[in-house]
Amino acid sequence: MNAVIRVEELKLTRSLVGVIATLAIVIGMVALLGGITAGVASGNPELIGQAGAAAALDWDGLLAGASQITAVVGILGFGIVLAWMFGREFTDGTITGLFALPISRSRIALAKLVVYAIWAASVSIALVVSVLALGLLSGYGSPGVETWTALGRLCALGILSAGLAIPVALIATITRSLLAAVASTVALVVIAQVGALAGGGGWMPLAAPALWAMSDGTTVTTVQLAVSGVIPLAFSAFTCLAWKRLQLDH
């Protein structure tokens, strides 16, 4: 199993998709937050009105903006990487060679998910470090207890967003299509946003982590957040089962 995980790790770390996605999520976050901060500091009334809570030039405003961006960019960025990890095997035709390996295909799928989880957690931590650095460079001072707690929620939001993208792996497997997997990633983002706007609140699993992070944990209960945690566990199991039942002639 360790050898399979190592192979999947090399596939991801040496691919342009993995590198570009990591840079896009982390550097993209800093660029967007930096742009918002600069715009608010310049007194741009239109930007200040659109930014809402993120318009405050302090730690609260910075973290509010970071949570809003992560809520959208998180699922999208993580989902695209997941779509590539599973969908490319079918698009490139490498799935045929996997049948000849002396290890079950369900373990290969599990190895992909393990590598994905480690990568997503690492990116989430890097995201928090970059936001922390931006806040310090912006002159917001040393973070207090509440700020550190909010940074922890931001990291958790990134990890939960990565988990909510795992259905993409199952869709890539069932459709055997990279494009279908990417399209499903976009669909997850849309569903999450529409659910939040429609008032689904904490009972909308795709939107609950974002609402939890943006409300400082006040509008989403532990039970509601736990429901969101069921999605990655369930779809990971479904994906491994689907890989176990793969057939070359289908």
pLDDT tens digits, 219-230:
888 888 888 889
Residues contacting 98, CB < 8 A, separation 6+: 89, 105, 108
Tell me, what's the pLDDT at 55? 67
What is the 3-class SS of 60-75, one letter each residue? HHHHHHHHHHHHHHHH
- 219 vs 55, residue with greater confidence: 219
Q: Nearest CA to 85 among 61, 109, 49, 58?
A: 109
Confidence of residue 200 (pLDDT cuts 50, 70, 90): low
Average pLDDT for residues 199-205, to the nearest whole number?
72
Q: How confident is the model at residue 108 (pLDDT cuts 50, 70, 90)?
A: very high
Name the band, by pLDDT with cuts 50, 70 and 90, for residue 241.
very high
pLDDT (average), residues 69-80: 88
**Predicted pLDDT at 201:** 67
Can you tell me the mean pLDDT for 37-51?
A: 71
pLDDT greater at residue 34 or residue 181: 181
Cα distances from 75 to residues 21, 24, 83, 187, 188, in angstroms, run: 12, 13, 12, 10, 8
User: Domain locations in the chain?
Assistant: 2-244
pLDDT level of residue 131 (50, 70, 90 thresholds): very high
- How far apart are alpha carbons 195 and 189 in whole angstroms? 10
Comparing CA positions, the residue from 100, 71, 105, 119 lying closest to residue 173 is 105
The CB-side HSE value for 129 (13 A sphere, CA atoms) comes to 7
Rg of the chain on CA atoms, in Å: 19
pLDDT at position 103 is 85
- Indicate whether 169 pLDDT > 90: yes
**For residue 239, what is the DSSP state?**
H
Q: What is the mean pLDDT of the chain?
A: 86
Query: Among 87-91, 107-111, 220-224, 232-236, which is the least confidently predicted range?
Result: 220-224
Find out whether 147 and 206 touch, Cβ atoms under 8 Å. Answer: no
* Residue 250, CA distances (Å) to 92, 142, 149, 174 in order: 16, 58, 49, 10
Q: In this structure, what DSSP letter does residue 13 have?
A: H
Distance CA(84)–CA(87), nearest Å, equals 5
Confidence of residue 191 (pLDDT cuts 50, 70, 90): confident
Percent helix, strand and coil across the chain, each to the nearest 5: 80, 0, 20
End-to-end, the C-alpha distance of the chain in Å comes to 26
